[in-house]
Structure 1
Amino acid sequence: MRGEYNGLKALILKENPSAYYIHCFAHQLQLALVAVAQKHPKIETFFTTVHRLVNIVGGSAKWSDLIRENQRLKILESLSVGEISSGRGLNQEITLQRPGDTRWGSHYSCLINLIAMFSTIVDVIEMIATDTTSTETRGDACISLELMLRFEFAFNLYLMKKILGISNELSRTLQTKDQDIVNAMKLVQICKTQLQTMRDDGWDSFLGVICSFGETHMINVPDMDDMFVTVGCSRRETVTNLHHFRVEMFYAVIDMQLQELNDHFSEVNSDLLIYVACLSPSNSFADFDKIKLIRLCQYYPVDFDAANILELDDQLDTIILDMRTSEDFEELQGISNLAQKLIVKNKHEVYPLAYKLVTLTLVLPVATAIVERAFSAMTYVKNRLRNRIGDQWLNDSLIAYIEKDVFDKIENDVIMEHYQSMRIRREQL
């Protein structure tokens, strides 16, 4: 489907170059983050080590309880010496959360907890490595402990924590049901700007944090002027530690992340969404912007030629004044409601170009996180035991599963009364 020359998208664009499609932005952000973890070998190795750590300490109730107890004792010790303060909502119990493959926000939470519990996890991993009863995990524990106490692991830990932290607010915004398009696009630009600022001016402060973390947890901080030698590489290819960590890791990972964001959040898609939002009738067309709507027309040259655009320029001023002063358009919330009201009031014949612009925005396919979750929910409803479920039953079951919040508000008595009234029953519920 994604083939550049013969894929479905390419074939459709050959027939109509203006057939735009906006894929789920939440999914695109996930793909941009996953791409860095898969394309950069050091980052891929880092996440493999993190997954191994989670499996070691989280695979046994014994070790999970030991982590919680050790963390509790360390918090009490820090409180007694005044290193941390107590208060409502502070020092809550945390665990090393298992990251999910489809939610990269969980990776961010995992890295945050790993930093907060680093010394505790090191102590527990040491116990597992020396525990004679843990024959199946001692080898993994020894390898993980050696990797954890390297400067490169701490460097990658803070680097990915920082990158995922910059994109965390954007990730949460894109996954909400009531998605503000303009705000989401603004967060995309903010995310790119923060990454660029971090690349240009953030190296010194970032390295200072890593060195402080290394001193706290007795991790050997290498001299940046010494030569860095990678296992398996020729000695002739060695570079200094400064070049490796600054250029090959810090700059390379950030540049790769910026490139992935630019590829997945293209300027055309971002502009289309922002321009479409200008047609929203909410709050008396508060987001109306004629200049942006004229630019939207330029994306559809077959439907709007130069003469049409000049005519629409004048028509938009008239129609927006007409709708703002009419009571019939006061309570409208969506563009689809606007299109229906234009037909009911015969405004589509009075303002044909404006109505054509509205219809073009309605046929613009925009996938959201809600659509992605609906397909994910289908795997739970239509499983192996119910693989012959009918369409109507499947639709009803999916609605009940997806809209749990709505159905939780319905009283059981109402459900039983409706069920009883569907047909005559032998017994009353």
Structure 2
Amino acid sequence: MAVVVRFVDKLGAIRESFIGIVHVKDTASTTLKQAIDDLLASKQLSIKQVRGQGYDGASNMRGEFNGLKALILKDNPSAHYIHCFAHQLQLVILVVAKKHAVSASCKRKDMLREEKKARVEKEILEGENKTGKGLNQEVSLARAGDTRWGSYHRTIISLLRLFPEVVTVLQYVKVDEDCSQQRINAKGILSYFKKLEFVFYMHLMGDILSYTNALSKHLQEKGKDLLEAANLINGTKGALNDLR
């Protein structure tokens, strides 16, 4: 289990510090709670000092009665729980990619393809798009894998490229889909798409994942020595810091 703390230093600046990786025998909430208590104690910190806690949406983490969130709140009611923002964005992307844009529906896939084709043709006629070898290739929404960051990067990039077409398909689902739950889901996603925070998160995560995806690919290459790997990691950290 990796543990990171965010705190305010003596100058009032917000800091984040990775304080350690702890081996846990299982992922039960009680095991995780004890590991966190022990790690904080080893750093001369206390769970009583915590004012916030954030994890993904797994039941062992956010469970109302026996989750890690609940166990910490029993010791410290001031440790307010916040669902991890990055994980929330992942869930939004998964909903879009799996349920509304790249599902098994051939009709939706054809609609996405035809809308994209019509937009490219219009842009070429109006001089807003260039033609040539390798340009204007057919694009589809990449299917995101729940545990692979690289797949999320591809999904975000393809969603940015196909955003107008995705909106058109969602509008179709909102009105004409036979399943009422899918109509409700489409309406909710369309509403979220209009918010500034969605646009901000989408572009920010696109930038972040482009750096981490490139680093991941480099680190998986054969023949990388430790010094080169360390330089790549430091370079990526510097690029991410520049986004702040």
Unpaired runs of 5+ in structure 1? 8-34, 200-429
Mapping of residues 301-316 of structure 1, within 5 Å: none
Question: Is residue 2:101 matched to residue 1:57?
Answer: yes
**After superposition, what is the alpha-carbon deviation per residue over 1:94-146, rounded to whole angstroms, capped at 9, x for unaligned?**
11111113321111111011111111101110011000534441111111111
Q: Determine which of 106, 126, 133 is the counterpart of 2:171.
A: 126
SS in 1 for 2:140: coil
1:159/1:37 CA distance change after superposition, 3 Å: farther
CA shift for structure 1 position 78: 0.9
- Given that 1:170 and 1:184 are in contact with CA atoms closer than 8 Å, whether structure 2 keeps it comes out as no
- Report the equivalent of 2:42: none
Question: Is residue 2:91 matched to residue 1:48?
Answer: yes
Name the CA distance, whole Å, in 1 between partners of 2:225 and 2:23. 34
1:6/1:122 CA distance change after superposition, 3 Å: closer
**After superposition, what is the alpha-carbon deviation per residue over 1:10-51, rounded to whole angstroms, capped at 9, x for unaligned?**
xxxxxxxxxxxxxxxxxxxxxxxxx98777633322221111
Aligned-pair identity (%): 30
CA shift for structure 1 position 80: 1.1
Task: Please identify which structure carries the higher helix content.
Answer: 1
Question: Is residue 2:160 matched to residue 1:115?
Answer: yes
SS in 2 for 1:137: helix
1:5/1:149 CA distance change after superposition, 3 Å: closer
**After superposition, what is the alpha-carbon deviation per residue over 1:63-119, rounded to whole angstroms, capped at 9, x for unaligned?**
011101111111111111111211211111111111113321111111011111111
Letter of the structure 1 residue corresponding to residue 117 of structure 2: R
CA shift for structure 1 position 4: 4.7
Name the CA distance, whole Å, in 1 between partners of 2:94 and 2:121. 29
- Given that 1:58 and 1:96 are in contact with CA atoms closer than 8 Å, whether structure 2 keeps it comes out as yes
Task: Please identify which structure carries the higher strand content.
Answer: 2
1:37/1:111 CA distance change after superposition, 3 Å: farther
- Quote the RMSD (CA, aligned, Å): 2.6
TM-score (norm. length: structure 2): 0.63
SS in 2 for 1:198: coil
1:125/1:71 CA distance change after superposition, 3 Å: same
SS in 1 for 2:128: coil
- Report the equivalent of 2:139: 94
SS in 1 for 2:112: helix
Name the CA distance, whole Å, in 2 between partners of 1:5 and 1:82. 59
Per chain length, whose mean CA-contact separation is higher, i.e. which structure has more relative contact order (CA < 8 Å, sep 6+)?
A: 1
TM-score (norm. length: structure 1): 0.37
SS in 2 for 1:133: coil
1:40/1:186 CA distance change after superposition, 3 Å: farther
Larger Rg: 1
**After superposition, what is the alpha-carbon deviation per residue over 1:283-312, rounded to whole angstroms, capped at 9, x for unaligned?**
xxxxxxxxxxxxxxxxxxxxxxxxxxxxxx
